[in-house]
Amino acid sequence: MSAETSRKDNRLLTLDCRAKAETPWGKGERTRGFRGLALCTPRPFVLFVLLTLVDGCVFRMTTPENFVRVKQSIWTPSAFHALTPQEDKLLVRHFTSGEKQTLKFWADTLRNNLVEERGYTLREEGEFKTDAGLAGHRFLFEITMSDVPYCYELVVFVTQTWRRQHIYAAEFLCQKKNFDANRPAVEKALKQFRPLRGR
């Protein structure tokens, strides 16, 4: 990893939500490409499926214990953004696609991109179910940035309406030393996750 990339990655871990150019999701504008689900890698990738970031209340989830929810700016288009005092981050994003694909398709795409293209190390993966029975797919990755080891947990859910598919991506980026302490609260919140669009 180059020194320039390390500096950019490290800046993504700050509380400054105004840094337009530093997010892997672009500069706040609506995008025609899925710019990846990694919080800490600025290089985007494009899937050959039209995905559009949409606004509005599209799901319900409680804020985990020891997290505070952060008010969003136009430059941070996640639908849910919460932080711990150590700046560990929990984000949930919502996308729609006109293409109908399976949960396995999205899981395979994310795994390949994060491991093969971005250099993440996959530690765990498997099925994840909410308390209401919604099935998702969970990943646990590790990556080192600026000599600091991080855990990156990703859970993806997919629902369908008659016109569109809805993709919900929950991301938890945490210093490895803090992961075991924060994980139970994050899992409890994700278990209570409830999408308001599709089934």
Instruction: Give the per-residue pLDDT at 54.
Output: 38
pLDDT in tens, 26-80: 333 332 333 344 444 334 333 333 333 333 467 788 899 999 998 765 544 457 8
pLDDT in tens, 173-193: 999 999 999 999 999 999 999
Number of folded domains that form the chain = 1
Q: CATH number for the domain including 32?
A: 3.40.1000.10
Q: How far apart are CA 140 and CA 184, in angstroms?
A: 14
- pLDDT at residue 148 tops 50: yes
Range of the domain at 66: 3-195
Query: Once rounded to an integer, what is the mean pLDDT over residues 3-27?
Result: 36
Cβ atoms 159, 197 nearer than 8 A: yes
Q: How far apart are CA 189 and CA 7, in angstroms?
A: 31
- pLDDT at residue 130 tops 80: yes
Query: Once rounded to an integer, what is the mean pLDDT over residues 103-125?
Result: 94
